[in-house]
Amino acid sequence: MADAESKKGKEGEEHAPPPKKKSKLLLIGIVAVVVLGIGAGGFFFMKSKSSPEKAHGAEEATAAEGAGHGEAEGGHGGEAKAEGAQSTIFNLDPFIVNLQDNSGTRYLKLTVNLDLSSPTAQAEITSQTTQIRDSLIILLSSKSYTDIGTVEGKYQMRDEIVARVNQFLTKSKVKTAYFTEFVIQ
């Protein structure tokens, strides 16, 4: 009888460790799923934060097209209102280029928004985005820190960007360019 009880005790001991191993594996699996879920949630949260900014730029452009309704008492000249009503902003994707510098490797990260003379220019720019980006990358990478490190240098580069983009447009023109992000590292 003692042998039967010791066999039952040994059988009980043999079956006890596997559930512990299974519970550890289950716990590790749950932790891994939670970590992946948090990572995926963070990714989509950050991605959704950047998407509304681009959508917001499109909403501003649409609002600018319909501007002028109810703004008669703005105190600004009528010509400015007429220009503002036809103004459309086109957001270019950020540029990251190496600068021409002898002092070491420097990078420029630049985000440019173009102020277009008419809404039809947006379709024209969209159809030639690849060529425009190529031309601007060549322009930006030809600059050195001393060229664009000053306010005057930034204004000159803005004028050069407008001239480069206008080379690709036949029906309308870019009025000006706005730098919404300008980082030299």
Residue 125: domain span: 66-184
Share above pLDDT 70 across residues of the chain, in percent, rounded to a whole number: 67
- Whether residues 85 and 26 fall in one domain: no
- Whether residues 115 and 169 fall in one domain: yes
**27 SS3 class:** helix
Domain count, the chain: 2
**Which pLDDT band holds residue 50 (cuts at 50, 70, 90)?**
low
What contacts 133, CB < 8 A, 6 or more positions away?
A: 92, 93, 95
Alpha-carbon distance of 114 to 137, in angstroms, equals: 16
**Across all residues in the chain, what is the average pLDDT?**
76
Q: Which of 63, 87, 109 is the last residue of a domain?
A: 63
pLDDT tens, position by position, 100-131:
987 778 899 999 999 998 888 899 999 999 99
- Whether residues 46 and 96 fall in one domain: no
- Whether residues 130 and 177 fall in one domain: yes
- Whether residues 41 and 71 fall in one domain: no
- Whether residues 170 and 108 fall in one domain: yes
- For position 108, which CATH number holds? 3.30.479.30
- Whether residues 112 and 173 fall in one domain: yes
163 Cα distance to chain centroid: 24
pLDDT tens, position by position, 64-108:
444 444 444 433 333 333 444 557 899 999 999 999 987 778 899
